Amino acid sequence: MVIVNRPRSRLSATPWGTSVERLLLRLYTYDLSITSASSPAAPTSKGRPVSNQLARDAHVSYIHIRHPIEGCLSNTATASSGAQGCSSASRSALSPAAPPTQPLTPQRQPTGRAEYTSTCQPKPLDRVLSAVLYSPRTQITGRRVLRHRGSQGRRKGKPPLGNPELDGKRLLQDLDTLARHGSSGSGALNRVAYSPADLEARCWVEDQMRDLGLQVTTDPAGNSICRYWGEAPGLSPIAVGSHTDTVLQGGRYDGALGVAAAMACVRALVHAGLRLRHPVEVLNFAAEEATMGGTLGSRAMAGLLEADQLDRPAWDGVPVAQHLEAAGLDPMRVSKARRDGGSLACFLELHIEQGGVLDKAGVPVGIVEGIVGIRRYSFAVQGLANHAGTTRMAERQDALVMAAPFILAVRDAAVAHNIVGTVGTLQVEPGFPSVIPGRVELGMETRGLDEASLDRAEKDLSQAATAIGGSFGVLSSKAPAHSDPLLVETLVCTCEEMGTPYRLMPSGAGHDAMCIAHIAPQAMLFVPSRGGISHSPEEYTEPEHCVMGARVLLEALLRIDSLLDPEG
């Protein structure tokens, strides 16, 4: 049983601490009372025992948590991890928060890590807490997780699903309309960032939002910000959206689906005459694709632009700044698109998976636990260039042969540490069939959600390079962007109550949400890409999956509106 009782406060990004500390802070911030129905001895927070059936299935280990940050925690939380498999109905039970089990004496820990003691096998705390948090046996009884209020006042119990109603037919029509902008006639889309076709599509989205009565602005990076005002004064907006630019010869779903779905959510609210407590912002980010270096608009919004970013060449060799000018934007003002941390209550993005996991598994919705971190490396090994005909095999110092074990080491490290690793470039000097390679340079990357795994793989690769006599260097490192645990939990609850099959998964590709994670809590939903294909005219997502993803997005939006910034 986890019992958490803490004065409620605003959701805020917490760029510090271990994942356990962050999770605890989230729990405390939300005044949640979470009861895992897995312990035979555990009463519910109303004092009644859990059902015998649930109790029989239980496997319990108690973990006592002491938080190291003085003043942040005044109670002891006791976690139990239980067996999986229980009806989603248990999630909807609402009960008042239970009192703390016993007071905690806060202790300052120089290591900054949470301590734990266990009566059973010690387990990593975050695993245990995650298991409790995500277990279908867990009752989330946060006061507003399962309720929302609209203009008709607060509803009792869970919100009526599908009300306000998302217009799936209109969503698909909007996708068709977007696909006409930049269409080459062969099915491929060329809506490269800041091109006339891209600007046309952006204008069309803005016009649609204006027609619904939203306040539309374009920021100095070209991001469209369409605001539907909320009821409660002073609350930061909940943002939903994605991007409408494409790669060269791209498809019609990458990005466009997320924008069309965000439009559909707001349209449903407007047509239902429903204003949420928070403002809702439909964001259409500029230049997400790599044509301008990648996630340019969301980087600008999150204050992540690098000094020379606009001077770098775009896809066509022309500096990015010139593309901005051609689109009527002032490169000198792009950094003014920056928004402060806390200026958004949260960000939700629906996107096609761009991989084949959901399609292969036949699961219609993916809930993204985090966007992978990406580390890029260089490797070089020096041999001796010599005549390929006269140099005997035993006397060669063939740099390519020396590099071969390193390529295998990249694969082995990725497999060993449950990440992905790729050698993507190979340069052989001098590069003639008649000359033994004298020098080889490789470019590679690793991607993974767990920073410790990336660290271990990096260590393995460094050792492998040393063993070969090569040089190994880190070119760049992007940290993983973990989704906000409570947003993920809300998406899980939403899918379960809607009866929508889902899978928790990482995102192997970068997205705007990865940048926005620096200024706001974020989470993403995926829908399947047929055959895992994207960035191609062959890109396809079943219409029913597009609509299903948008419906989950709308329902989650309603719940999150009630969950964040609770009244009183």
x/- string (CB under 5 A) for Zn ion, residues 122-161? ----------------------------------------
Residue 308 CB coordination number (10 Å):
9
| Nearest distance in Å: CB 417, Zn ion | 27
The one segment of 131-139, 141-149, 246-254, 395-403 that binds Zn ion by CB under 5 A: 246-254
Query: Is the Cβ of residue 230 or residue 241 nearer to Zn ion in the bound state?
Result: 241
Question: Which residue in the block uniquely carries the two structure tokens 């779905």?
Answer: 261
Is the omega angle on the peptide bond into residue 543 within 30 degrees of 0, that is, cis?
Answer: no
Q: Which of 257, 334, 328, 320 is nearest to 291 (CA)?
A: 320
Tokens of 532: 């895992």
Residue (125 or 514) nearer to Zn ion, CB: 514
Q: Which residues of 197-219 are buried (b: 16+ CB within 10 A; e: fewer)?
A: bbbebbebbbebbeebebebebb
CB of 517 to Zn ion, least distance (A): 16
- Tokens 């399609």, residue located: 359
* Ramachandran region, residue 393 (left: φ > 0; alpha: ψ -120 to 50; beta: rest): alpha
- Residue 198 or 254: which CB sits closer to Zn ion? 254
Q: What angle do CA 191, 195, 198 make, to 5 degrees?
A: 45
- Which range of residues in 173-181, 247-255, 304-312, 387-395 is near Zn ion by CB under 5 A? 247-255
Distance of CA 524 to the CA centre of its chain: 5
Q: Tell me which stretch binds Zn ion (CB under 5 A): 18-26, 255-263, 412-420, 424-432.
A: 255-263
Please name the amino acid found at residue 489: E
Element (H, E) at 153: strand 153-154
Helix (H) or strand (E) run with residue 241 in it: strand 238-243
The answer to whether residues 322 and 257 touch, using CB atoms and an 8 Å cutoff, is no
Least separation in angstroms between residue 149's CB and Zn ion is 33
Nearer to Zn ion, 255 or 485 (CB): 255
User: Considering the complex, what minimum distance in angstroms separates the CB of residue 246 from Zn ion?
Assistant: 9
Q: Is 254 in the site for Zn ion (CB under 5 A)?
A: yes
* Of 254 and 489, CB closest to Zn ion: 254
The two three-digit tokens of residue 568, written as one number: 């009183």
Using CA atoms, how far apart are residues 23 and 14, in angstroms rounded to an integer?
Answer: 10
User: Binding segment for Zn ion among 33-41, 78-86, 250-258, 361-369 (CB under 5 A)?
Assistant: 250-258
Q: What is d(CA 187, CA 191) in angstroms, rounded to the nearest whole number?
A: 12
> Going residue by residue from 99 to 128, which x/- string records binding to Zn ion, judged by CB under 5 A?
------------------------------
> Please, which residue, 126 or 254, has the CB nearer to Zn ion?
254
Nearer to Zn ion, 255 or 366 (CB): 255
CB contact at 8 A, 419 and 375? no
Residues 328 to 387 in contact with Zn ion, rule: CB under 5 A: none
Interface size with Zn ion, residues (CB under 5 A): 2
Of 255 and 528, the one with the shorter C-beta distance to Zn ion is 255
| DSSP track, 372-413 | PEEEEEEEEEE---EETTTS-GGG---HHHHHHHHHHHHHHH
Of the residues 255, 279, 366, 437, which one makes contact with Zn ion according to CB under 5 A: 255
Tell me, residue by residue from 202 to 241, as one string, x for binding to Zn ion by CB under 5 A and - for no binding. ----------------------------------------
Shortest separation between residue 221's beta carbon and Zn ion, angstroms: 17
CB of 243 to Zn ion, least distance (A): 6
Q: Which long-range contacts (CB under 8 A, 24 or more apart) does 231-236 make?
A: 231/151, 231/275, 231/276, 231/277, 232/277, 232/278, 232/565, 232/567, 235/277, 235/278, 235/279, 235/345, 235/564, 235/565, 236/278, 236/279, 236/342, 236/343, 236/344, 236/345, 236/565
CB of 490 to Zn ion, least distance (A): 23
Q: How far is the CB of 267 from Zn ion (least distance, A)?
A: 22
In angstroms, give the least distance from the CB of 330 to Zn ion. Answer: 26
* Residue whose CB is less far from Zn ion, 82 or 255: 255
Quote the least distance from Cβ 313 to Zn ion, whole Å: 22
DSSP 92: G
Output the smallest distance, CB 314 to Zn ion, in A. 17
- Measured at CB, which residue is nearest to Zn ion? 255
Q: Is 57 exposed, middle or buried (0-12, 13-18, 19+ CB in 10 A)?
A: middle
User: Nearer Cβ to Zn ion, position 331 or 549?
Assistant: 549
Nearest distance in Å: CB 74, Zn ion: 44
CB of 181 or CB of 559, closer to Zn ion: 181
350 or 419: whose CB is closer to Zn ion? 350
Instruction: Please report, as ranges, the residues that interact with Zn ion according to CB under 5 A.
Output: 254-255
